[in-house]
A and B are shown apart, each in its own frame.
Chain A
Amino acid sequence: MAVDRRQFLKVAGISTLLGIGGKTAFEILSPGRLEASSQKIPLTTGKRWAMVIDTHKMDEGLIEKCIEACHREHNVPNLDSQKEEVKWLWKEDYHHTFPNQQHRFTMHDIIHKIVPVMCNHCSNPPCCRVCPTQSTWQRDDGIIMMDPHRCIGCRFCMAACPFGARSFNWGDPRRVMTDDSLKESNPDFPQNPEYPTRCKGVVEKCNFCAERLAKGLEPKCVEVANDKKEAAMIFGDLADPESEVRTILNERYSIRRKPELGTEPNLYFLI
């Protein structure tokens, strides 16, 4: 089943119109798969999720909107501290994101370009290799998942990730609801009553919105970005040669972060 962006948007749109939850969206997407999931066939089979980011279209303002939407969607607190901060999606300049793909005379505009960064959902993930409890692992569809129920907080995955994609809950994230100095910057935490928060002592990171994909919705950042600028972020199935991600990777030049390490990131940047 090919799910490209347009289909996705249509489905998402219809389900929003109907005002009902994920069930409907999913049934429209693929009749029978909901039934299959209840018969122990996961929703992940036969897919290879990837994301393409058009750096020309993603300006800093838009990235910030995506970050805010992502962090609200997943109840990520604003801890206001470089040491303790938790982030799933954030911004970084080209210079620091692609340290080996530049030189002294690279165009000024590119070197200082702000790009969105998050977990790369690598095909060959070192984080999953090192986890002693399989709290983080690779799903069939390529998503690197975290099971916060099982994480013991050893932080080996944070040492293993070459992209700094992982954050640790150094304290209880819910303290932002009571701590006087943090209350102000987190007025409505937890913002999404349909998603949990985390507890202290576990690692967390971007999950490619696995919970939204299960309902036939695109990741939140993709939805927000495309709402403002068409095809600024493209999400889809690499296993499908007809998918929009495959088409655009075939047509435009793209790069990935630190390809020399062999982790095979699934985040592609159009430069």
Chain B
Amino acid sequence: MYDGGKIIVGLLICLGFFLSPFFYNAGKAAKVPNPQLTEIAKEAQTCVMSKDYMTTSHFTLLDKWRNTVVRDGERYFKGENGKIYYKSLQMTCLKCHANKSKFCDQCHNYMDVNPYCWDCHIEPKESE
């Protein structure tokens, strides 16, 4: 192999670069998310869809909501329980889940996702 030494060194540098996130985070365990429900949410018993659906796909639902509300002018949503909800992140979702830091942020931080919803939509004021 011509220039074998150089190639191997180059490969090692690349490998090290790709593995750097693992070295960086080695030994640190991220806090397991523990989303909390507010009293209002507990009382309501159910969200607009089943808990399973909401856990895995709330963002799909929110995306659908924002498109149908803003673009199609359909403002109301019939939940699984037959109840009709006003489709609004700020006014419906966060009325119940008024504890963003203890609910939304729990998983978002764990998964390291940064939804830009809050660039515009106003977070609820949480009393500490």
Smallest CB gap from B121: residue in A? A196
A79 to chain B, nearest CB (A): 17
Please tell me which one of the listed residues A21, A35, A43, A197 contacts residue B122 in the complex, with CB atoms under 8 A apart: A197
Cross-chain contact B120 with A23 (CB below 8 angstroms) = no
Cross-chain contact A38 with B84 (CB below 8 angstroms) = yes
Q: Of residues 158 to 213 in A, which have CB atoms within 8 Å of B's CB atoms?
A: 174, 190, 193-199, 210
Residues from chain A with a CB closer than 8 A to the CB of B76 are 34-35, 37-38
Can you offer 21 A-B residue contacts whose CB atoms are under 8 A?
A: A21-B91, A23-B86, A35-B84, A38-B74, A38-B76, A38-B77, A39-B78, A41-B74, A75-B122, A137-B71, A145-B71, A190-B122, A193-B90, A194-B90, A194-B91, A196-B90, A196-B120, A196-B122, A199-B116, A199-B119, A214-B73
Question: CB of A93 within 8 A of chain B?
Answer: no
Chain B residues with a Cβ under 8 A of chain A: 66, 68, 70-78, 84, 86, 90-91, 116, 119-122
Smallest CB gap from A21: residue in B? B86
Cross-chain contact A38 with B90 (CB below 8 angstroms) = no
A175 to chain B, nearest CB (A): 12
Q: A37-B75, A44-B73, A145-B70 are in contact. Are A22 and B86 (CB under 8 A)?
A: yes
A35-B76, A199-B116 known; 10 new pairs, CB 8 Å cut-off, are: A22-B86, A35-B78, A44-B73, A75-B122, A140-B73, A145-B70, A174-B119, A193-B122, A196-B121, A214-B73
Cross-chain contact A148 with B75 (CB below 8 angstroms) = no
Question: CB of A96 within 8 A of chain B?
Answer: no
Cross-chain contact B70 with A147 (CB below 8 angstroms) = yes
Residues from chain A with a CB closer than 8 A to the CB of B70 are 145, 147, 149
Residues from chain B with a CB closer than 8 A to the CB of A40 are 68, 72, 74
Chain A residues with a Cβ under 8 A of chain B: 21-23, 34-35, 37-44, 75, 137, 139-141, 145, 147-149, 174, 190, 193-199, 210, 214
- Which A-B residue pairs are the 4 nearest by beta carbons? A42-B73, A199-B119, A38-B78, A38-B76
By CB atoms of chain B within 10 A, which of A37, A193, A210, A214 has the most? Answer: A37
Cross-chain contact A197 with B120 (CB below 8 angstroms) = yes
B76 to chain A, nearest CB (A): 4
Residues from chain A with a CB closer than 8 A to the CB of B122 are 75, 190, 193, 196-197
Smallest CB gap from B68: residue in A? A40
Residues from chain A with a CB closer than 8 A to the CB of B71 are 137, 145, 147
By CB atoms of chain A within 10 A, which of B70, B75, B78 has the most? Answer: B75
B65 to chain A, nearest CB (A): 11
Assembly CA distance A57 to B14 (angstroms): 74
Smallest CB gap from A190: residue in B? B122
By CB atoms of chain B within 10 A, which of A137, A149, A198 has the most? Answer: A149
Assembly CA distance A34 to B120 (angstroms): 27
B58 to chain A, nearest CB (A): 17
Cross-chain contact B75 with A43 (CB below 8 angstroms) = yes
Smallest CB gap from A199: residue in B? B119
Smallest CB gap from B94: residue in A? A193
By CB atoms of chain A within 10 A, which of B70, B76, B86, B122 has the most? Answer: B76
Please tell me which one of the listed residues B75, B77, B78, B119 contacts residue A214 in the complex, with CB atoms under 8 A apart: B75
Smallest CB gap from A42: residue in B? B73
Cross-chain contact B91 with A43 (CB below 8 angstroms) = no
Smallest CB gap from A197: residue in B? B120
Assembly CA distance A43 to B73 (angstroms): 6
Residues from chain B with a CB closer than 8 A to the CB of A41 are 74
A152 to chain B, nearest CB (A): 14
Residues from chain B with a CB closer than 8 A to the CB of A214 are 73, 75
B120 to chain A, nearest CB (A): 4
Assembly CA distance A145 to B73 (angstroms): 10
